[in-house]
Amino acid sequence: MQGLGSGAAVLRIWEDAAAASPERRGSAIVASATAQPVREIEALPLGRRDRRLLELRRGLFGEAIEARGDCPACAAAVEASFGVGHMLDGDAAASETIDIVHGDLRLTVCAPSAGEIAALTRQYGGDGDADIESVRRALLQSCVVRCQTASGKAADLPEDADAAVAAAVETLDPLAAIALTLTCPHCNAAFETPFDPTDFVWRELATAANRLLWEVDQLARAYSWPEADILALSPTRRRAYLEIAAG
């Protein structure tokens, strides 16, 4: 069986993910790499799904991640290098739910699954045009398993409970919202920038796949080798043959 980082595996995962909608692409990548049904991946809390996505990324491209953010103080582009392990520091809570008190209400909160977030994103716009505030409000409401008064009577979730619910979700699933802390080398301002594992891994995957397709094309033209034989070569051998063919 070919390893996860093989050219054939990269192209297969890229092809499967390319066929998925943007909001489901992260789950599609993990499902393709692990040969699990997408529905099983989407049933995971988002942070746990993204943990698997980042572990997969480490298997494909290595430990180092080159991140970038725009300084809010001077608008300079700030680049920094992190290890995948740095991203995976947050541990999920042992329990699937957490009980909190908000005023005179008792709430039981769960972490949203990757599939729930994808469905809400599509419902409220999707394809990059989602109404973020509507998605956030609907998502927080879906995370509340029970909302009761002190006497045990069911109650409606008040809007001012959003912050408390969001904090509970972060405790349950800390990797659901990754933020990188960067320092601007130009003005020394420290700031946080969000990190989207799906977007990052997908861009790396697409870049690697396009490079592989180019190598296959060039070597097939030069030597009439089939794609499978070219992809079976190590990256070092492919580069060597490309140099010979170009010379």
Phi, psi of 97 (to 5 degrees): -135, 165
Residue-level pLDDT, tens digit, the chain, 247 residues: 345 668 999 999 999 999 999 999 999 999 999 999 999 999 999 999 999 999 999 999 999 999 889 999 999 999 988 899 888 876 666 678 999 999 999 999 999 999 999 998 888 765 455 567 777 888 888 999 999 998 999 999 898 999 999 999 999 998 888 888 899 999 999 999 989 999 999 999 999 999 999 999 999 999 999 999 999 999 999 999 999 999 8
Q: Are 118 and 130 in contact (CB under 8 A)?
A: no
Alpha-carbon distances, residue 175 vs 48, 69, 111, 153, 245 (angstroms): 7, 19, 11, 33, 46
Residue 140: both structure tokens together: 């927080």
Instruction: Kindly report the pTM of this predicted structure.
Output: 0.86
User: What is the phi-psi region of residue 100: left when phi exceeds 0, alpha when psi lies from -120 to 50, beta otherwise?
Assistant: beta
How crowded is residue 8: how many other Cβ atoms within 10 Å of its Cβ?
15
Contacts of 93 (CB under 8 A, 6+ apart): 171, 172, 173
